[in-house]
Amino acid sequence: MKERVTIREVAREANVSIATVSKALNGLDVVTPKTIERVTEAAKKLHYTPNLMGKQLKTKTTKMIGLYTHTITGPYFNTLIEAIVEEAGNYQYGVNVLISSDKQILSSHLLGNMVDGFIGFEELIDEESLSTIRAEGVKAVFVDRKINDGSISSVVFDSQKAGRIAAQHLIENGHTKIGFLPGHPNVYDSDERYLGFQEVMAEHQLPINLDWTITGLFEEKESYENIKNYLLTTPRDKWPTAWIAGNDLSAIGVIKAIDELGLSVPEDFSAIGFDDIELLGYFKPSVTTIQNPIQEQGKQAVIELMKLINNQKKGESKTLDCQLVVRETTKRLSR
Amino acid sequence: MKERVTIREVAREANVSIATVSKALNGLDVVTPKTIERVTEAAKKLHYTPNLMGKQLKTKTTKMIGLYTHTITGPYFNTLIEAIVEEAGNYQYGVNVLISSDKQILSSHLLGNMVDGFIGFEELIDEESLSTIRAEGVKAVFVDRKINDGSISSVVFDSQKAGRIAAQHLIENGHTKIGFLPGHPNVYDSDERYLGFQEVMAEHQLPINLDWTITGLFEEKESYENIKNYLLTTPRDKWPTAWIAGNDLSAIGVIKAIDELGLSVPEDFSAIGFDDIELLGYFKPSVTTIQNPIQEQGKQAVIELMKLINNQKKGESKTLDCQLVVRETTKRLSR
DNA sequence: ACTGAAAATAAAAACGTTTTTATTTGGAGG
DNA sequence: CCTCCAAATAAAAACGTTTTTATTTTCAGT
């Protein structure tokens, strides 16, 4: 890397002090139009670009928010992240996406003053991380856990309600034997959905059969394999008549498995996902789902973070509503 | 944000100079085990985390590579980025994903010494950007354009060959009327594929009908709408018998459009995509495609970038091979 | 015990900015 | 033609590190 030209050389070129260069370039109005021009010209001539390290070290602000996650893969993350980027732009903030599951890396970035605040997931939700965050007064917004105290806010979906809606929809369609595919263990949204599902089943005095509870991990592949395996190894009369998948991708895996065994959705099984990802409508049959306002979540997360950064308020928690989208994979049980 | 504890306070706590703290904490072996322990203890007690701004300002290295893109949405980006992150980790480098289409933002980050080098796309490929990159000696690897000179390398797919393979496969299956859906205009991969397609068509003395060239933009939605519109407004005897889509998503859109009009792939049309994204196998019918080694591209991009960063060589260009994956959407023409 | 070199530590400089404080400049008012 | 004040600019300090240079400590070898 070649030596970069610094403010010092611009100063020399313009025959002026470095203080003046700084002020001129940052538009402080204490400096004469004439010198502003001289400085700007010199800067342009030398191709000067300010060293952000120097600048941020001094100003102690980065105009960057961190987005810390172990993965960006999948439509949920894609949509969320782009929404965050867009909203952050409205505040003249950049978004610094850091992908790692190494808590060390994330927190050294975080505590190393590389960002003014961050939006995070599960990865940083443990007692140790949270207490550091609180102790250091780091501004944080979580989007997959309800937390609010001190400098921490959160924006989550009403996933319990989502679980309820899914179960209710199936029950209204005559289903009584309903299977469930949880996502990753201890993930808030997944747990909450299961909770809502349980509640509704209980309210209708319907049993939950643990054989029908099959790991899906939010992934099409895992769901496909596990469901296929279940169907191949379980007598037909023990099967449920509907599946609530962990999310849309998981539902797609379920459907594929069923299809491959010569069975059909929704004739033999109903299936339902969560999120309403864009590609969903391109599948055949198109998938019934509970729509989550992902973009709104991204936007609100930024809004809350900005409030924290500007010290406008203490951490608080927002919950976003969800909505049933009926498509072709759920159907009245006709038996 | 609360005041962070600095090296100075650690020094005071450990009754030692800040130089010693720095050396102790960075494992320079000039310092006594006894003081190392004292310092480490003090640092732990005070919850010291080094300010990365200070550190990087001094060392002029960030151990970060930038990934500059206007979008991360879509399986291609997801896969590529995660591969990059993984490989960078092998070099103890972090990846700083910056999403923006604003050239200003990208280059101020870049020239502001925020990263040791970057992997970039189309966005920074224009004469002005390139000449700055060259002039400043910024280390760069592009993955969607063949460029190699000075401090710039590239790792691209052999997209011309991909286009050739696609066309050949269809022609071998008896197709002579073949439509094409380009991606975004002036995008390398798309252009190259078209070139390969043209070549093969010419070699077989087959005409390319411009009515069969339909904008797809690499997107399922755009492709779906445009194909649907084409089919609705064009007499059946003018139709091609096969489509080469811009990528897999585009192919999915094409198939959806055909399906919705009561026609079928591969009975009425063959269709072929590019990339071989993961979800492809879950569609019905599963999609024939030209597989690109996306993960390999990510890996190689990092490898090349590291060579540049360590001044091990001048910019060079790598081209990765591709491969036909026949699935259900292409079929021998039976007329 | 003393010398001298090696080892350990401390002090100071430096990285590139911004900001605070000090100095110079340019006029208006007498 | 001074004096003084405001305006403009320059100088210096500071941000938190690492690195270079200087100083102190340790302890062989006599």
Residue pair B107/B100 in contact (Cβ under 8 Å)? The answer is: no
The per-residue pLDDT for A108 is: 94
Q: What is the mean pLDDT of residues B43-54?
A: 96
Give whole-number Cα distances, A196 to A165, A240, A291, in Å: 8, 19, 16
Q: Determine whether A319 is exposed, middle or buried from the number of CB atoms within 10 Å of its CB (0-12, 13-18, 19+).
A: middle
- Touching check for A78 and chain B: CB below 8 Å? yes
Q: Which domains does chain B have, with CATH numbers?
A: 7-59 (1.10.260.40), 64-156+294-320 (3.40.50.2300), 159-292 (3.40.50.2300)
- Touching check for A131 and chain B: CB below 8 Å? no
Q: For B96-118, what is each residue's pLDDT tens digit?
A: 999 999 999 999 999 999 999 99
What is the Cα–Cα distance from B14 to A333, expressed in whole angstroms? 73
Residue A15 is encoded by which pair of tokens?
């025959």
Residue B274 is encoded by which pair of tokens?
């590019």
Mean pLDDT across chain B, nearest whole number?
Answer: 95
Beta bridge partners of A244: A180, A272
For B96, the 3-state DSSP assignment is strand
Question: CA A280, B189, B201: angle at the middle one, nearest 5?
Answer: 100
What is the Cα–Cα distance from B230 to B211, expressed in whole angstroms? 9
CA-closest candidate to residue A193, choices A238, A226, A144: A144
| Whether residue B302 has pLDDT greater than 80 | yes
Cβ contacts of A81 on chain B, cutoff 8 Å: 72, 99
Hey, how many other C-beta atoms are within 10 angstroms of the C-beta on B247?
Answer: 29
Q: Which residues of chain A have pLDDT under 50?
A: none
Cβ contacts of A59 on chain B, cutoff 8 Å: none
For B117, the 3-state DSSP assignment is strand
Beta bridge partners of B67: B97, B119
> Are A72 and B72 inside 8 Å of each other by CB?
yes
The per-residue pLDDT for A100 is: 94
Chain A residue closest in CA terms to B4: A136
Q: What is the mean pLDDT of residues B296-325?
A: 95
Q: For A47-88, what is each residue's pLDDT tens digit?
A: 999 999 999 999 999 999 999 999 999 999 999 999 999 999
The per-residue pLDDT for A335 is: 59
Residue B13 is encoded by which pair of tokens?
């706590």
The per-residue pLDDT for B284 is: 86
Q: What is the mean pLDDT of residues B7-24?
A: 96
In whole angstroms, D29 C1' to B56 CA is 45
The per-residue pLDDT for A9 is: 96
Which nucleotide shows the minimum CA-to-C1' distance to residue A7?
Answer: C16
Hey, how many other C-beta atoms are within 10 angstroms of the C-beta on A45?
Answer: 12
Residue pair A144/A179 in contact (Cβ under 8 Å)? The answer is: no
